[in-house]
Protein backbone atom coordinates (compact mmCIF):
# COMPACT_ATOMS: atom_id res chain seq x y z
CA UNK A 1 0.00 0.00 0.00
CA UNK A 2 2.78 2.41 0.85
CA UNK A 3 4.33 1.72 -2.55
CA UNK A 4 1.11 2.77 -4.33
CA UNK A 5 0.96 6.00 -2.32
CA UNK A 6 4.58 6.73 -3.16
CA UNK A 7 3.90 6.23 -6.87
CA UNK A 8 0.88 8.57 -6.73
CA UNK A 9 2.95 11.27 -5.01
CA UNK A 10 5.74 10.89 -7.55
CA UNK A 11 3.43 10.99 -10.59
CA UNK A 12 3.39 14.82 -11.03
CA UNK A 13 7.17 14.88 -10.98
CA UNK A 14 7.37 12.08 -13.53
CA UNK A 15 5.04 13.94 -15.86
CA UNK A 16 7.23 17.04 -15.65
CA UNK A 17 10.38 15.25 -16.80
CA UNK A 18 11.05 16.58 -20.33
CA UNK A 19 11.82 14.39 -23.28
CA UNK A 20 15.39 14.26 -24.46
CA UNK A 21 16.05 17.54 -26.26
CA UNK A 22 18.25 18.13 -29.23
CA UNK A 23 21.64 19.73 -28.71
CA UNK A 24 23.21 22.44 -30.81
CA UNK A 25 25.80 21.16 -33.28
CA UNK A 26 29.27 22.56 -32.73
CA UNK A 27 30.62 24.54 -35.68
CA UNK A 28 34.34 25.11 -36.20
CA UNK A 29 35.15 27.78 -38.75
CA UNK A 30 38.15 27.98 -41.05
CA UNK A 31 38.75 31.05 -43.22
CA UNK A 32 41.45 33.40 -44.52
CA UNK A 33 42.20 36.34 -42.18
CA UNK A 34 40.35 38.79 -44.44
CA UNK A 35 37.15 36.82 -43.89
CA UNK A 36 37.34 37.14 -40.10
CA UNK A 37 34.31 39.54 -39.98
CA UNK A 38 32.22 36.95 -41.82
CA UNK A 39 33.28 34.26 -39.36
CA UNK A 40 32.23 36.49 -36.45
CA UNK A 41 28.90 37.10 -38.17
CA UNK A 42 28.27 33.39 -38.69
CA UNK A 43 29.22 32.59 -35.12
CA UNK A 44 26.25 34.73 -34.09
CA UNK A 45 23.79 32.75 -36.23
CA UNK A 46 20.33 32.43 -34.69
CA UNK A 47 20.58 29.52 -32.24
CA UNK A 48 16.86 28.86 -32.55
CA UNK A 49 17.20 28.19 -36.27
CA UNK A 50 20.28 26.07 -35.71
CA UNK A 51 18.48 24.03 -33.06
CA UNK A 52 15.57 23.48 -35.46
CA UNK A 53 17.97 21.80 -37.87
CA UNK A 54 18.91 19.22 -35.24
CA UNK A 55 15.31 18.78 -34.08
CA UNK A 56 13.93 18.27 -37.58
CA UNK A 57 16.45 15.51 -38.30
CA UNK A 58 15.67 13.86 -34.96
CA UNK A 59 19.23 14.00 -33.64
CA UNK A 60 19.40 14.49 -29.87
CA UNK A 61 23.18 14.27 -30.17
CA UNK A 62 24.43 16.05 -33.30
CA UNK A 63 27.78 14.25 -33.27
CA UNK A 64 31.32 15.56 -33.63
CA UNK A 65 32.05 19.20 -34.55
CA UNK A 66 31.25 20.27 -38.10
CA UNK A 67 34.03 21.99 -40.04
CA UNK A 68 32.84 25.11 -41.86
CA UNK A 69 35.28 26.36 -44.50
CA UNK A 70 34.81 29.82 -46.05
CA UNK A 71 36.36 29.55 -49.51
CA UNK A 72 37.44 32.63 -51.51
CA UNK A 73 36.48 32.76 -55.18
CA UNK A 74 39.14 31.06 -57.28
CA UNK A 75 40.27 28.71 -54.53
CA UNK A 76 40.40 24.96 -55.10
CA UNK A 77 37.41 24.47 -52.77
CA UNK A 78 35.32 27.02 -54.69
CA UNK A 79 36.19 25.49 -58.05
CA UNK A 80 34.67 22.18 -56.96
CA UNK A 81 31.20 23.76 -57.10
CA UNK A 82 29.34 25.02 -60.19
CA UNK A 83 29.63 28.76 -60.77
CA UNK A 84 26.11 29.34 -59.45
CA UNK A 85 26.61 27.22 -56.31
CA UNK A 86 26.98 29.06 -53.00
CA UNK A 87 27.93 26.10 -50.81
CA UNK A 88 28.16 22.34 -50.51
CA UNK A 89 28.60 19.71 -47.84
CA UNK A 90 30.22 16.32 -47.36
CA UNK A 91 27.95 14.65 -44.84
CA UNK A 92 30.18 11.67 -44.10
CA UNK A 93 33.18 13.93 -43.46
CA UNK A 94 31.23 16.50 -41.44
CA UNK A 95 32.47 19.25 -43.76
CA UNK A 96 30.67 22.36 -45.02
CA UNK A 97 32.14 24.70 -47.65
CA UNK A 98 30.69 28.18 -48.25
CA UNK A 99 31.50 30.69 -51.01
CA UNK A 100 30.47 34.06 -49.48
CA UNK A 101 31.19 36.04 -52.65
CA UNK A 102 28.36 34.22 -54.46
CA UNK A 103 25.64 35.16 -52.00
CA UNK A 104 22.81 36.24 -52.27
CA UNK A 105 21.07 33.95 -54.69
CA UNK A 106 18.18 31.53 -54.61
CA UNK A 107 17.65 29.18 -52.84
CA UNK A 108 19.76 30.96 -50.18
CA UNK A 109 19.15 34.65 -49.63
CA UNK A 110 21.87 35.33 -47.07
CA UNK A 111 25.04 33.74 -45.75
CA UNK A 112 23.37 32.53 -42.55
CA UNK A 113 20.77 30.63 -44.58
CA UNK A 114 23.53 29.05 -46.66
CA UNK A 115 25.20 27.89 -43.44
CA UNK A 116 21.98 26.39 -42.04
CA UNK A 117 21.23 24.71 -45.36
CA UNK A 118 24.62 23.00 -45.57
CA UNK A 119 24.74 22.07 -41.88
CA UNK A 120 21.37 20.40 -42.43
CA UNK A 121 22.95 18.15 -45.07
CA UNK A 122 25.56 16.97 -42.56
CA UNK A 123 22.97 16.24 -39.89
CA UNK A 124 20.69 14.49 -42.40
CA UNK A 125 23.57 12.20 -43.35
CA UNK A 126 24.24 11.46 -39.68
CA UNK A 127 20.56 10.80 -38.91
CA UNK A 128 20.37 8.39 -41.85
CA UNK A 129 23.64 6.78 -40.71
CA UNK A 130 25.13 7.69 -44.09
CA UNK A 131 22.72 5.41 -45.93
CA UNK A 132 21.48 6.65 -49.34
CA UNK A 133 18.76 9.30 -49.34
CA UNK A 134 17.15 10.72 -52.50
CA UNK A 135 18.57 14.12 -53.25
CA UNK A 136 15.12 15.73 -53.51
CA UNK A 137 14.41 14.71 -49.91
CA UNK A 138 17.86 15.75 -48.72
CA UNK A 139 17.56 19.17 -50.39
CA UNK A 140 13.91 19.53 -49.38
CA UNK A 141 14.72 19.09 -45.69
CA UNK A 142 17.60 21.56 -45.99
CA UNK A 143 15.19 24.01 -47.64
CA UNK A 144 12.69 23.53 -44.83
CA UNK A 145 15.20 24.75 -42.24
CA UNK A 146 16.35 27.72 -44.33
CA UNK A 147 12.90 28.72 -45.59
CA UNK A 148 12.30 32.10 -47.23
CA UNK A 149 8.52 32.35 -47.34
CA UNK A 150 7.55 34.55 -50.28
CA UNK A 151 10.73 33.81 -52.25
CA UNK A 152 10.07 30.06 -52.02
CA UNK A 153 6.43 30.47 -53.05
CA UNK A 154 7.35 32.71 -55.97
CA UNK A 155 9.92 30.22 -57.30
CA UNK A 156 7.46 27.38 -56.76
CA UNK A 157 4.83 29.14 -58.88
CA UNK A 158 7.25 29.70 -61.74
CA UNK A 159 8.56 26.14 -61.32
CA UNK A 160 5.12 24.63 -61.87
CA UNK A 161 3.17 26.98 -64.15
CA UNK A 162 2.54 25.30 -67.48
CA UNK A 163 5.13 22.60 -66.83
CA UNK A 164 2.95 19.85 -65.42
CA UNK A 165 3.91 17.48 -62.66
CA UNK A 166 7.43 16.17 -62.28
CA UNK A 167 7.88 12.74 -60.73
CA UNK A 168 10.01 12.65 -57.60
CA UNK A 169 11.96 9.77 -59.09
CA UNK A 170 13.05 12.11 -61.91
CA UNK A 171 13.70 15.15 -59.74
CA UNK A 172 17.23 14.20 -58.65
CA UNK A 173 18.41 14.37 -62.25
CA UNK A 174 17.23 17.99 -62.58
CA UNK A 175 19.67 19.48 -60.04
CA UNK A 176 22.84 19.25 -62.19
CA UNK A 177 21.24 20.81 -65.29
CA UNK A 178 22.19 24.43 -64.56
CA UNK A 179 21.07 27.23 -62.29
CA UNK A 180 17.52 27.63 -63.65
CA UNK A 181 16.80 23.90 -63.59
CA UNK A 182 18.34 23.63 -60.12
CA UNK A 183 16.18 26.50 -58.84
CA UNK A 184 13.10 24.60 -60.03
CA UNK A 185 14.33 21.40 -58.36
CA UNK A 186 15.05 23.23 -55.09
CA UNK A 187 11.63 24.89 -55.10
CA UNK A 188 9.77 21.63 -55.72
CA UNK A 189 11.85 19.67 -53.19
CA UNK A 190 11.27 22.26 -50.49
CA UNK A 191 7.56 22.40 -51.25
CA UNK A 192 7.16 18.62 -51.05
CA UNK A 193 8.96 18.38 -47.69
CA UNK A 194 7.04 21.34 -46.22
CA UNK A 195 3.82 19.71 -47.39
CA UNK A 196 4.86 16.44 -45.72
CA UNK A 197 5.48 18.30 -42.47
CA UNK A 198 2.08 20.01 -42.67
CA UNK A 199 0.35 16.71 -43.40
CA UNK A 200 2.18 14.40 -40.98
CA UNK A 201 3.69 16.59 -38.26
CA UNK A 202 7.07 18.06 -37.43
CA UNK A 203 8.60 14.68 -36.60
CA UNK A 204 7.89 13.05 -39.97
CA UNK A 205 11.38 13.88 -41.28
CA UNK A 206 13.01 12.35 -38.21
CA UNK A 207 10.89 9.20 -38.55
CA UNK A 208 11.78 8.78 -42.22
CA UNK A 209 15.50 9.30 -41.52
CA UNK A 210 15.38 6.92 -38.55
CA UNK A 211 13.85 4.21 -40.74
CA UNK A 212 16.47 4.75 -43.43
CA UNK A 213 19.18 4.75 -40.78
CA UNK A 214 17.91 1.40 -39.52
CA UNK A 215 18.59 -0.08 -42.95
CA UNK A 216 15.17 0.20 -44.59
CA UNK A 217 15.00 1.22 -48.26
CA UNK A 218 13.92 4.86 -48.46
CA UNK A 219 10.50 4.11 -49.97
CA UNK A 220 9.77 1.62 -47.19
CA UNK A 221 10.95 4.05 -44.49
CA UNK A 222 8.78 6.73 -46.10
CA UNK A 223 5.65 4.56 -46.15
CA UNK A 224 6.09 3.44 -42.54
CA UNK A 225 6.52 7.04 -41.39
CA UNK A 226 3.64 8.54 -43.39
CA UNK A 227 1.22 5.66 -43.82
CA UNK A 228 1.18 5.97 -47.60
CA UNK A 229 3.46 5.11 -50.46
CA UNK A 230 5.70 7.59 -52.23
CA UNK A 231 3.46 7.36 -55.29
CA UNK A 232 0.33 8.14 -53.26
CA UNK A 233 2.02 11.04 -51.49
CA UNK A 234 3.29 12.41 -54.79
CA UNK A 235 -0.21 12.25 -56.32
CA UNK A 236 -1.69 14.04 -53.29
CA UNK A 237 0.94 16.77 -53.50
CA UNK A 238 0.26 17.44 -57.18
CA UNK A 239 -3.50 17.53 -56.56
CA UNK A 240 -2.81 20.36 -54.16
CA UNK A 241 -0.62 22.07 -56.74
CA UNK A 242 -3.30 21.63 -59.41
CA UNK A 243 -4.61 25.13 -58.77
CA UNK A 244 -1.32 26.71 -59.84
CA UNK A 245 -1.10 24.55 -62.96
CA UNK A 246 -4.66 25.23 -64.12
CA UNK A 247 -5.71 28.65 -62.86
CA UNK A 248 -2.56 30.74 -62.64
CA UNK A 249 -1.79 30.42 -66.39
CA UNK A 250 -5.34 31.60 -67.15
CA UNK A 251 -5.24 34.42 -64.58
CA UNK A 252 -1.97 35.70 -66.08
CA UNK A 253 -2.98 35.25 -69.73
CA UNK A 254 -3.74 38.08 -72.19
CA UNK A 255 -7.30 36.75 -72.57
CA UNK A 256 -8.01 37.14 -68.86
CA UNK A 257 -6.43 40.61 -68.82
CA UNK A 258 -8.59 41.62 -71.80
CA UNK A 259 -11.71 40.29 -70.09
CA UNK A 260 -10.75 42.09 -66.88
CA UNK A 261 -10.22 45.41 -68.66
CA UNK A 262 -13.49 44.98 -70.55
CA UNK A 263 -15.38 44.18 -67.34
CA UNK A 264 -13.90 47.21 -65.59
CA UNK A 265 -14.86 49.42 -68.55
CA UNK A 266 -18.44 48.09 -68.47
CA UNK A 267 -18.71 48.61 -64.72
CA UNK A 268 -17.34 52.14 -65.09
CA UNK A 269 -19.81 52.89 -67.91
CA UNK A 270 -22.79 51.58 -65.93
CA UNK A 271 -21.83 53.58 -62.85
CA UNK A 272 -21.39 56.72 -64.97
CA UNK A 273 -24.83 56.23 -66.50
CA UNK A 274 -26.31 55.77 -63.02
CA UNK A 275 -24.67 58.98 -61.79
CA UNK A 276 -25.86 60.89 -64.87
CA UNK A 277 -29.40 59.59 -64.38
CA UNK A 278 -29.33 60.60 -60.72
CA UNK A 279 -28.15 64.11 -61.67
CA UNK A 280 -30.92 64.42 -64.27
CA UNK A 281 -33.57 63.36 -61.74
CA UNK A 282 -32.24 65.90 -59.29
CA UNK A 283 -32.37 68.64 -61.92
CA UNK A 284 -35.92 67.67 -62.90
CA UNK A 285 -36.98 67.82 -59.27
CA UNK A 286 -35.41 71.26 -58.85
CA UNK A 287 -37.10 72.53 -62.01
CA UNK A 288 -40.48 71.25 -60.81
CA UNK A 289 -40.01 72.92 -57.43
CA UNK A 290 -39.06 76.23 -59.10
CA UNK A 291 -42.26 76.11 -61.19
CA UNK A 292 -44.43 75.59 -58.09
CA UNK A 293 -42.81 78.60 -56.40
CA UNK A 294 -43.52 80.85 -59.42
CA UNK A 295 -47.24 79.96 -59.34
CA UNK A 296 -47.72 80.18 -55.58
CA UNK A 297 -50.31 82.78 -54.31
CA UNK A 298 -50.21 83.94 -50.70
What is the CB neighbour count within 10 angstroms for residue 169?
Answer: 13
> Residues 22-41: pLDDT tens digits?
688 999 999 999 999 999 99
120-124, 213-217, 274-278, 291-295: the lowest-pLDDT one: 291-295
Return contacts of 205-211, CB within 8 angstroms, 24+ apart: 205/56, 205/57, 205/58, 205/141, 205/144, 206/55, 206/56, 206/57, 206/58, 206/127, 207/58, 208/137, 209/57, 209/58, 209/124, 209/127, 209/128, 209/133, 210/58, 210/127
Q: Is the pLDDT of residue 181 over 70?
A: yes
> Residues 139-168: pLDDT tens digits?
999 998 875 543 444 444 444 544 455 788
Q: How does DSSP assign 142-164, residue by residue?
A: HHHHT--THHHHHHHHHHHTTT-
pLDDT of residue 16: 33
Read off the pTM.
Answer: 0.71
Amino acid sequence: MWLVRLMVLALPFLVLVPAEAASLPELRFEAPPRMAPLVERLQRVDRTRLLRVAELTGLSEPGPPIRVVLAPEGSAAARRAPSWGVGYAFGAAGLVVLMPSRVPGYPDQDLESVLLHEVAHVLIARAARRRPIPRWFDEGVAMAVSRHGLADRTHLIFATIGRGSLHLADLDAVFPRGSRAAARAYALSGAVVRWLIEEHGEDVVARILAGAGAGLPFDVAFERATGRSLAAAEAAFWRRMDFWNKWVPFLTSSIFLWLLVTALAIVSFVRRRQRDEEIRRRWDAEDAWSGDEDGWVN
